[in-house]
Amino acid sequence: MAGPKSPLQSSPSGPLSGVAVVPGDKSISHRALILGALAVGETRITGLLESDDVLATAAALRALGAQVRREDDGDWRIFGCGVGGLSEPSGVLDMGNSGTAVRLLMGVSATLSFNTTFCGDASLSKRPMERVMTPLRQMGAQFTARDGGRLPITVSGARAPIPITYALPVASAQVKTAILLAGLNTPGLTTVIEPEPTRDHSERMLGHFGAEVTVEDTADGGRRITLSGQPELTGHGVTVPGDFSSAAFPMVAALLAPRSRVTLTTVGINPLRTGLLETLLEMGASIGVENRRTLGGEAVADLVIESSSLKGITVPGARAPSMIDEYPVLAVAAAFADGETRLEGLAELRVKESDRLAAMARGLAQAGVDVTETEDSLTIRGGASKPRGGVHIEADLDHRIAMAFLVLGAATQQPISIDDAATMDSSFPGFAALMNGLGANIAPGNGA
């Protein structure tokens, strides 16, 4: 049974100012835990995102036999079992709301010779997993799932896994990573061909832990990633940078609030993750990228954001893989841009934590924004005046929808409330407190 909801209300704010540190990168946090559990020896992680999603991964790895614990100084220590060394869990692994966690761990379990059962919350249980199961079946795994390839799912791992070469029909870092993780415990070469580059945290971190991974560009603009199976991974230290997807929310809020200047420190700027930055700069945003450096193999920088007058543009669908999680807050920015902003190639948003395309179109229209939704696009027409606001938004158990409309409410004429803030802890614990520390006005709401 679901717990009580936690409504929040965001009221128009004054200028936003200050320096903030956003939580650690969620994608990197998941991968660091998993590879630490598959390595020999100790892995120490600094800056791990302690969100509900990542904690679900940590709990699942404990159930699979790895030693995973948080130290008093906030670092996490993992003593892994080696590739192929995890053991059959005694119960069902509850992945909460995390699609990343369940898809990556399905990859791990696909080449382990025992059964592993995954379940999740109401939102995760609606999300399709067939795109992960299809290549893993080719490697020898078997699955028992609800209709449509939905949770709960039992993975019967292959006893004699088969290496494959798999061309992804749709670019997906999660599916790519699931195949590569299955390939770790598979003899020979496992190859994934992606139609366009997606975030490459997995390839970088696999190399960091000692796997042999090659990445080649293809003639049609994609990438071919090949992993040599059955390596001995060695535990390593990992420092997790700030999550660009989380930084997107205070970034857009600072752009929209007059006379604002906000600095977000040590944010990951992996070039396959920063499509939103490219897009906002094209729209006229004032965002300085300062103190560029490398942290644990990942590019990081400090972002300095100042209030800006934005203009509408067309964002091509080819950019979607580099900003797939940022479209909800980009739609908020577009509501304040002069002219028409067209976001293309968004079909993937319909199978995220919610149908994000429909949720943003519906909520923006409620708030007085002129918006048109198609099957795979969103067109938003900004005007001379601020959107009206003054509405209550059902966030559909989706953390990014909830945070996007709280950002919107900080800049509309009247407050905006959301029905439930609890899901924000899946990616951005302390979101309201961080925003309020910069000058936002987010407070408990009445749920209506």
Indicate which residues carry an active-site annotation: 325
Six-digit token pair at 183?
Answer: 């390939």
On the 0-12 / 13-18 / 19+ scale of CB atoms within 10 A, 402 is: buried
DSSP 8-state secondary structure symbol assigned to residue 379: E
152: Cβ contacts below 8 Å, ≥ 6 apart:
92, 117, 118, 119, 125, 145, 146
268: Cβ contacts below 8 Å, ≥ 6 apart:
25, 28, 241, 242, 243, 244, 298, 299, 300
Question: Phi, psi (5° rounding) for residue 104?
Answer: -70, -40
443: Cβ contacts below 8 Å, ≥ 6 apart:
8, 9, 11
Residues 34 and 78 sit within 8 Å (Cβ to Cβ): no
Residues β-bridged to residue 353: none
Q: Per-residue DSSP letters for 312-334?
A: --EE-GGGGGGTTTTHHHHHHHH
Helix ranges restricted to H, 75-159: 99-109, 130-138
